[in-house]
Amino acid sequence: MGERTAARSVPCIRPSPPRRRPTLACVLALLMYSALAMRFAQAANPQPYRIDWVSSGNGAIDSTLRQTSQLQGLRASAPVGPYGLIARARADVGRMLTVLESFGYYQGTVTISIDGRSLDSTGLGAALSALPKGTPAHVRIVPALGPLFHVGRIEIEGTLPKGMKRTLGLPHALLGLSSGAAAVASAVLAAGVNLQIRLQDAGYALAKVDKPLAYEVPARHVLNLTFRVKIGPRVRIGEIRIEGLRHVRRSFVRRRLRVHTGELYDAATLEKARQDLLRRGLFSSVSVRMGTPDAQRRVPLTFLVQESKRFAVGLSGAYSSDLGGSGGIHWSDLDTFGGGQRLSVSATAIDLGGTASTGVGYDARVGYAIPDFHRRGQTLGFSVAALRQTLQAYTQNGATAGASLTRHFSSDWTAIAGATLEHEIIDQQGRQYQYDLLSMPLSARFDSTDLASPLLDPTHGYRLSVSVTPTVSTGDSGSQIFVIMQGSLATYFDVHRLLPSDPPGRTVLAARLIAGLAEGASQFSLPPDQRFYAGGSGTVRGYRYQSVGPQFPDGTPQGGTSMQAVNLELRQRVGAKFGFVLFADGGGVATGSQSVYRVGVGMGVLYYTAIGPVRLDFAVPTRRLRNSGRFEVYVGLGQAF
C-alpha cells in the first residue's frame, strides 16, 4: 500500500499561470469595494443564529472545537448577514478538521448545516435572507472522528553521535515516542524537540532537528515519520560574560553560576543555571546568548540579566470574625550590599475588633538575611520583633531577638536551626507573669507541590513540617526546661487523575493533619503563649480562635499540653476566575486530666488572581462551646493550607 503526505496538515503549493500586474487604480477600487461589501455584510440585515453542538464522544476534542470555532467565538461580538454566516461556517469546517487531525483523526469529518440545509445547498442564502427580521437561524455542527491514526515507522535522517540509537522503529529513548502511539500532533512535534534537547545535553550545542515529515498510510491508519537531524560539532563552554548588572556584584553572580569555562556544553545544566539566577529574586529576566565556536570548539556564553527593582513596598490585610481585622505595611531592600542580602521591615496592626480579642495589638519586625553563607544554598538570618496580643486567653507584650541558619538540601527539603531570646509579660485571669525564654528551634520542611509561592494554589504533592524546640524558661513561675514538638502534613490530590474528563487542576481534594506536644512541663507551669490551643482559621474553623480546649470557669481558654487537628477540603474551580470550597475540620486540645474536641464545617468562595486566590470562608460549629459564636467568617489571600 502506498504512502502519501498528510495533505490536510501540510498546505500544497501549485504554480500559477503568469498574469498582468494590476494598476494602482484597480487595486484601490478593489480595496474600496471589499471594505464596503464587508461593512454592508455586517451592518445590513445581521442574521442572528443559535448553535447546536453534537458531541464527538471526546470531551477534550469538543472543548477545543468550541474554542477554535468562529461561529461560536464571534456570534455575539461580530454579527454578519446571511451570506456572511455561510462563509463563516465554511471557514469553520477547515479549522475544525485541523483540530481533528491534531488529535490524530486524519479521516474525520465535520458537517455543518444551517436550518437543515448543507452549506452547498442551492438557495441557502436566499432562504436565510427571507427569514423574518430577528428570527435566529439554526446552525448544527456534527463532528465525526473516524479511526484514530497511530505512529507507524519512525526514521531518523542524519548521523547521530556514537552510542545513540538509530535502529529504525526503536528510537524511543531519544524521541519519547514509539511506533503504535496515537499520532497526536503535540506528541509528534514534542518528539523532535526531545531529540534536539538530548543532542544539546550531550554537548552538540548547534544540533538542529527539523519538524518531522509525516507520511499518511490511509488503509492502515498510520503515520510514518521522518526526523531530519544535523548535529554539528561537539563543543565545550568558552568565555562566560555577564551583561546588564547595575547594583548586584559580578562576583556574586559568578559564584552562583552552575556552569564554568571548559565544561562540556549541556543545555539542561545551562537552563538550571538560568533558573537558579531567577529564583534569587534579584533579576526580572535572565537569558543566555550563545556565540560562535572557536578553533578549539569552545562556545562563548553571555548571560543577559535585567535587575529587579531593588526596593519593594507592600500592604497586607486580612479579616476573620474571631480575630477581627489586621492591616500592615512592609518594606524590603532586596540587595542591600550587592550580594543578595535582604533587609525587611514590617509593621502590622492586629486584633482589630474580633470576638476573640479584647483590644488592639501590633506585630513589628525587622529581618536581615545573608544568602550563600559559607556555602551555596545556606542562608544566615537575624530578626528582632515586638509583639502585643490582646486575646481572651491572655494579653501578651513581648520582644524577641533571634538568629537562624537555613539550609536547602534540594528543591523539596529545607532544614532550619536557630536560637531565640524572648522577654514577655503576660496577663491571664487577672494575674501578671514575666518570662525570659531561651529557645533553640530545629525544624525541617518538605514541599513537593512545585510552586514558586505558598500563596499559589497547590494541586498535587505534599507539604511536611516538623519542629522540635528545646526551651529554657525563667520568670515568676521559676526556672524550667521543656520541649515543644509540632508537626503538620498536608497533601493534595487532583481528581483529573481519576477522571480524565475533568480538566487538570479544576477539582482538588486537600487534607491536613496537625499535632503538637509539650514535654517537661505541666499545663500551668508552661507560659500561656507556649501552650496549645485549637479553634480558628488555622485549626478548627467555626469556633473562635483558641476557644476549643479546657476553659476557666468564666469561659476563658486555658490552653493545653497537646493538640491535634484534621482538615479536609474539596476545592472546585468554576470558569477562569472563580471557585468554591467545601470543608470539615476536627480537632481539640488535651491536658493531663481533661480534653475537649470539636468539629466545624463550612464552605467558601474564591476569586483567583495572579498572586493567589482571594478566599472568603463561612464556617459553623457542630456543637457549640461556652463563649463560642453561631458562625465564623474568614477572609484572606491564599488557600487555608
CATH code for the domain of 330: 2.40.160.50
Q: Mean pLDDT of all residues in the chain?
A: 90
User: Each residue of 193-240: pLDDT tens digit?
Assistant: 999 998 999 899 999 999 999 999 999 999 999 999 999 999 999 999
pLDDT for the residue 165: 56
Residues 361 and 336 in one domain: yes
Residues 246 and 323 in one domain: no
3-state secondary structure 213-273: EEEEECCCCEEEEEEEEECCCCCEEEEEEEECCCCCCHHHHHHHCCCCCCCECCHHHHHHH
For residue 23, tell me if it sits in a domain. Answer: no
Residues 267 and 360 in one domain: no
For residue 631, tell me if it sits in a domain. Answer: yes
For residue 11, tell me if it sits in a domain. Answer: no
Mean pLDDT of 369-379: 93
pLDDT for the residue 11: 29
pLDDT for the residue 411: 87
Residues 315 and 284 in one domain: no
Residues 269 and 333 in one domain: no
How many independent structural domains does the chain possess?
Answer: 3
pTM of the model: 0.71
Neighbours of 348 (CB within 10 A): 18
pLDDT for the residue 54: 96
For residue 482, tell me if it sits in a domain. Answer: yes
Residues 459 and 497 in one domain: yes
The yes-or-no verdict on residue 121 having pLDDT over 60 is yes
- Report how far residue 635's alpha carbon sits from residue 641's, in angstroms, rounded to the nearest whole number: 14
Q: Domain boundary at 123, 144, 165, which?
A: 144
The yes-or-no verdict on residue 327 having pLDDT over 70 is yes
For residue 195, tell me if it sits in a domain. Answer: no
- Report how far residue 124's alpha carbon sits from residue 116's, in angstroms, rounded to the nearest whole number: 10
pLDDT for the residue 501: 84
Q: How confident is the model at residue 606 (pLDDT cuts 50, 70, 90)?
A: very high
Residues 488 and 596 in one domain: yes
The yes-or-no verdict on residue 32 having pLDDT over 80 is no
pLDDT for the residue 160: 85
pLDDT for the residue 144: 96
Mean pLDDT of 514-528: 95
Q: Is 153 exposed, middle or buried (0-12, 13-18, 19+ CB in 10 A)?
A: middle
Q: Is 228 exposed, middle or buried (0-12, 13-18, 19+ CB in 10 A)?
A: middle
Enclosing domain of residue 82: 45-144
The yes-or-no verdict on residue 21 having pLDDT over 70 is no
Direct distance between the N- and C-terminal alpha carbons of the chain, in angstroms, rounded to an integer: 60
User: Each residue of 229-278: pLDDT tens digit?
Assistant: 999 999 999 999 999 999 999 999 999 998 999 999 999 999 999 999 99
Chain position carrying cell 510514518: 224
Q: Percentage of the chain with pLDDT > 90?
A: 79
Q: Domain boundary at 144, 172, 196, which?
A: 144
For residue 222, tell me if it sits in a domain. Answer: no
The yes-or-no verdict on residue 169 having pLDDT over 90 is no
Q: Domain boundary at 262, 290, 307, which?
A: 307
241 vs 5, residue with greater confidence:
241
Residues 285 and 263 in one domain: yes
Mean pLDDT of 41-58: 82
Chain position carrying cell 490552653: 559
Instruction: Give the distance from CA 387 to its chain's centroid.
Output: 34
Which residue in 511, 428, 432, 435 sits closest to 471, CA to CA?
Answer: 435
CATH number of domain containing 84: 3.10.20.310
Residues 485 and 394 in one domain: yes
The yes-or-no verdict on residue 28 having pLDDT over 80 is no
Mean pLDDT of 297-326: 95
Q: Percentage of the chain with pLDDT > 70?
A: 92
The yes-or-no verdict on residue 42 having pLDDT over 90 is no
- Report how far residue 475's alpha carbon sits from residue 432's, in angstroms, rounded to the nearest whole number: 11
For residue 322, tell me if it sits in a domain. Answer: yes
pLDDT for the residue 38: 45
Q: How confident is the model at residue 171 (pLDDT cuts 50, 70, 90)?
A: low
User: Each residue of 393-411: pLDDT tens digit?
Assistant: 999 999 999 999 999 999 8
The yes-or-no verdict on residue 29 having pLDDT over 70 is no
For residue 32, tell me if it sits in a domain. Answer: no
